[in-house]
Structure 1
Amino acid sequence: MRSSPLGLTVLSLLHMRPLHPYGIQRLIKQWGKDQVVNVSQRASLYRTIDRLLDAGLIAVRETSRDQQYPERTVYEVTDPGRTATREWLREMLAASRTEYPEFPAALSFAMMLLPREVEADLSARAGQVRAQLAELESAAEGARELSLPRVTMLEDEYRRAVLTAELDWLDAVTADLRSGALTWDFEALAALAQAST
């Protein structure tokens, strides 16, 4: 099985204790891991659990039935799962991979819009980034109050650094758009593209 952020998350949580899928999902949200791993659809969690099970990285520990809930299957990590977790972690930490997020893709075609539209949209994004930074600072303050070790919040520390850099860039580009230092004419760009084909 190939590594994936959600697979790594499930394996890591099962290192703590055996869990059923709802417990895994609840811990992901409680620990704020839903900010770095996409678990918005429960089906993706179940597909990941099925793949881990098929690969022998996790096993069924027990299946129980409670009158209030449907049948629950509790999973535990296997020895091969423990090995895979370490390998995936080391690989993900060490290897820089090209990722394809939406924002750079949209930036590459910003020329399709008017400069004032791009300025408005980037300003709106900057406002959202500021709000995310405030949330991260609040989470960091909460972690400090709980005396949580720094290692438990490294992903937030990283996100804060990335968002701070993004905000600096957004502020600089929107300032250039407002001042007219950054502008373009779509027709001229289209003519340039036509000439190069």
Structure 2
Amino acid sequence: MSNPLALAVLACLWEKPMYPYEITTTLRQRGKDDSIRLNFGSLYSVIKSLQKHGLIVEQRAEREGNRPERTVYEITDDGRTEAHDWLREILAVPEREYPTLEAGLSLVALLEPAEATDLLRARVASLDTTIASRRTVLGRTREAGLPEIFAVEADYHLALLEAERDWVERLVERLDAGTVGGQDMWARMHALLAAGKPVDEIEGELVDEIGAANLAALDELATGHAPPPQPPAPR
């Protein structure tokens, strides 16, 4: 199990047996769909997977009036154990995530520097709007007396948005000032492309300019650890 929606389903059924639509309604009423991707199609797949692994079981089938029959599910003892163990791991062990912004930054050289800078500037403006809205909502929940623990994930999300906004703004400022390392090379690459120079020739020039040592450092940065030591060259 790796989908956080499965953990949310286990958490709902921990409270009481529910049918799928009730689970969806409960998660949405509590604002959990802001932290966990939720749609009805994936919910049914998750439920079937949980059932297959023996973490939930069908408790009963019920029908109201002329509505279709619905299945009520309940959590098993194994499901309670799995929910506890899974949540402990999520909270304690950092996991590699893949934010779309990080993916975009890793491929930003496909765009010209000026265009990339304008797009990042637009992102800052969009983040400003989102942050202001979330601060307002979070403030209202606090004024209403909602205990902090019930909105702690919203506070975390706001902190991430604020950190992203500040980081992107600093990058835009440096791009405007032309102080980002390699920015001139980036601009020259696009100038050569516009002039019709073949991509492989441009890549060869860039590799020569960057140098083997810097390329090795780039590999280390990408993997997050130093490469294994190489044996000494034979004399």
User: TM-score by structure 1 length?
Assistant: 0.89
| Stretches of structure 2 lacking an aligned partner (at least 5 in a row) | 193-201, 216-235
1:63 aligns with 2:65: no
By how many angstroms is 1:134 displaced? 2.3
Q: Which whole-Å CA distance do the structure 2 matches of 1:93 and 1:107 have between them?
A: 27
1:137 to 128, 135, 138: 135
Higher mean alpha-carbon deviation, 67-76 vs 161-170, is at: 67-76
Paired residue secondary structure (2:81): helix
AA in 2 matched with 1:5: P
Quickly say closer, same or farther: Cα 1:193–1:151, change in 2 above 3 A: same
By how many angstroms is 1:194 displaced? 7.2
By how many angstroms is 1:16 displaced? 2.2
Higher mean alpha-carbon deviation, 109-118 vs 174-183, is at: 174-183
Quickly say closer, same or farther: Cα 1:131–1:73, change in 2 above 3 A: farther
Aligned to 1:73: 71
* Alpha-carbon contact 1:3-1:88 (below 8 Å) kept: no
By how many angstroms is 1:68 displaced? 5.2
- The percentage of aligned residue pairs carrying the same residue is 36
Aligned to 2:46: 48
Q: Which whole-Å CA distance do the structure 2 matches of 1:192 and 1:81 have between them?
A: 54
By how many angstroms is 1:93 displaced? 0.3
Q: Which whole-Å CA distance do the structure 2 matches of 1:43 and 1:139 have between them?
A: 29
By how many angstroms is 1:136 displaced? 2.2
Compare CA radii of gyration and give the structure with the larger one. Answer: 2
Aligned to 1:126: 124
Matches within 5 A, 1:153-168: 153-168=151-166
Q: Which whole-Å CA distance do the structure 2 matches of 1:46 and 1:134 have between them?
A: 35
Of structures 1 and 2, the one scoring higher in RCO (CA 8 A, sep 6+) is 1
Q: Which whole-Å CA distance do the structure 2 matches of 1:22 and 1:48 have between them?
A: 13
By how many angstroms is 1:33 displaced? 1.2
By how many angstroms is 1:128 displaced? 2.5
Q: For the aligned residues, what is the CA RMSD?
A: 2.1
2:94 to 82, 93, 96: 96
Aligned to 2:112: 114
Aligned residues: 195
Quickly say closer, same or farther: Cα 1:180–1:66, change in 2 above 3 A: same
Aligned to 1:21: 20
Alpha-carbon displacement from aligned partner over 1:88-143 (angstroms, at most 9, x marks no partner)? 10000000111122221110111111112111211222223223222321231232
1:192 to 206, 216, 219: 206
* Alpha-carbon contact 1:119-1:177 (below 8 Å) kept: yes
Q: Which whole-Å CA distance do the structure 2 matches of 1:44 and 1:103 have between them?
A: 25
AA in 2 matched with 1:87: D
By how many angstroms is 1:70 displaced? 2.2
1:175 to 173, 176, 187: 173
User: TM-score by structure 2 length?
Assistant: 0.75
